[in-house]
Amino acid sequence: MVVLKAASPPTVPSVNKINNGYPCSNGTIKPLITPSPSSFINLDQGDPEVFRSYWRKKSEECTVVINGEDLMSYLSDTSNVCWFMLPELREAIQRLHRVVGNASVGMDKHIVVGTGSTQLFQAALFALSPSDSPNPINVVAASPYYSEYQEEVEILRSGLYRWGGDAREYDKNEAYIEVVTAPNNPCGSIRRAVANCEGEGKVIHDFAYYWPQYTPITQQYDHDLMLFTFSKCTGHAGSRIGWAIVKDIEVARKMTRFIQMSSIGVSKESQIRVAKIIGVICDSYQKIGSSLDSDELFFEYSNRKMRERWEKLRAIVEKSNLFSLAKYPKAYCTFTNNTSESYPAFAWMKCKGGIEDCESFLRNLKVFVRGGKRFGVDQKYARVSLLSRDEMFNEFLTRISNITSDRKYKLN
């Protein structure tokens, strides 16, 4: 919750009222829409509302007060490469990674903040592309790859880079940029660079989902260029904050230049809010050993939430002869000091038997999902978001449970 101090401040809804809808700036509540058996439910997008109930309880702790004269300048810290990043956000990001242990943030690293990791991806492509090459550099990713990579590469019709397809099939003797997503979106597996060719390769590591609620933290990564997003870390997608951890200062400078030219920096209001919320998370882990309940710890709460969803979904799918789900090996998590399996943000479902198009099949159930073709694979696959509100997720379970028990859909 952000409270803006002004001459006539808006009425801030009480926590109890917010339970029943979205608070608006004028003090009213926009009611939540509860899906009915006849309504469409959208599980195509990864809109992370699954953790809303946790943050509702933390509403007061996460309050930020911004005065009318605050944050007016473009500039934040001119001594830093990323001059529009607030020092408190940089310190909060460093603290978060030290608490979780998923990425190295030592003195040799540079942090660049962006309007979500989408802007940072474009900035990384700009920074890694040679400016003196007569031909665009190829951008590749191993299928199934994130469905937006190709569109993000192609949308600007850049003369610096172009989409090069599946990294496993890339065999050109030309320079390339490989995008490695770990855990992978859509399938949840841990990925490494796979391109095997004679061309000089550079790698962007997208760690949007490398957080303890989705996968065991098995090591502290220390790659040249790593992308993270607040959206999937905590669920606050509306704040539109992502960050890159970069080794090479010249790459960090070029990324900063791209963001400067595209948006002249990043919203300071969002930066302040993100720094505050990260602080709330980290502070709670410093209180371990006190009377704190495990549900007071964000990553414990969110991991339990994802585990419960996966257990419910697997129980239904295992009784079905229509679908199958990917299985994940157990691994030791250095953050929780426990061995567990992954609980990805998306279910990578495969239709079996005579169903050739999983997306269309689920659409007939009035469930929007994203088909395999968007990820560079067969249409028998579809990505289903597990990040929606409880009402949406439970309605999805009801529909696939009913369809798998209906005899007219049983296949030989």
Conformational region of residue 243, where left means phi above 0, alpha means psi within -120 to 50, and beta covers everything else: beta
Which is nearest to 350 in space by CA: 375, 368, 325, 386?
325
Q: For residues 296 and 354, what is the distance between their CA atoms, to the nearest angstrom?
A: 46
Estimate to the nearest angstrom the gap between the alpha carbon of 118 and the chain centroid. Answer: 10
- pLDDT above 60 for 405: no
Residue with tokens 């007219």: 408
**Distance spanning both ends of the chain, measured CA to CA:** 53
Q: Write the burial class of residue 18 (CB in 10 Å: 0-12 exposed, 13-18 middle, 19+ buried).
A: middle
- pLDDT above 80 for 410: no
Residue type, 355: I
Second-level CATH architecture of 41-59+295-410: Alpha-Beta Complex (3.90)
Split at pLDDT 50, 70, 90, the class of 29 is low
More confident residue, 386 or 286: 386
Second-level CATH architecture of 67-284: 3-Layer(aba) Sandwich (3.40)
Percent of the chain with pLDDT over 70: 89
Percent of the chain with pLDDT over 90: 83
List pLDDT tens digits, range 173-200: 999 999 999 999 999 999 999 998 888 8
| E strands in 265-398 | 323-325, 331-333, 338-340, 346-351, 367-368, 370-371, 381-385
- The CA dihedral of 76, 81, 85, 88, to the nearest 10 degrees, is -90
- pLDDT above 70 for 24: no
Please tell me the pTM assigned to this model.
Answer: 0.91
Every domain of the chain and the residues it spans: 41-59+295-410, 67-284
Which is nearest to 388 in space by CA: 20, 122, 32?
32
Phi/psi at 162 (nearest 5 deg)? -150, 160
> What pLDDT score does 353 carry?
81
Residue type, 397: L
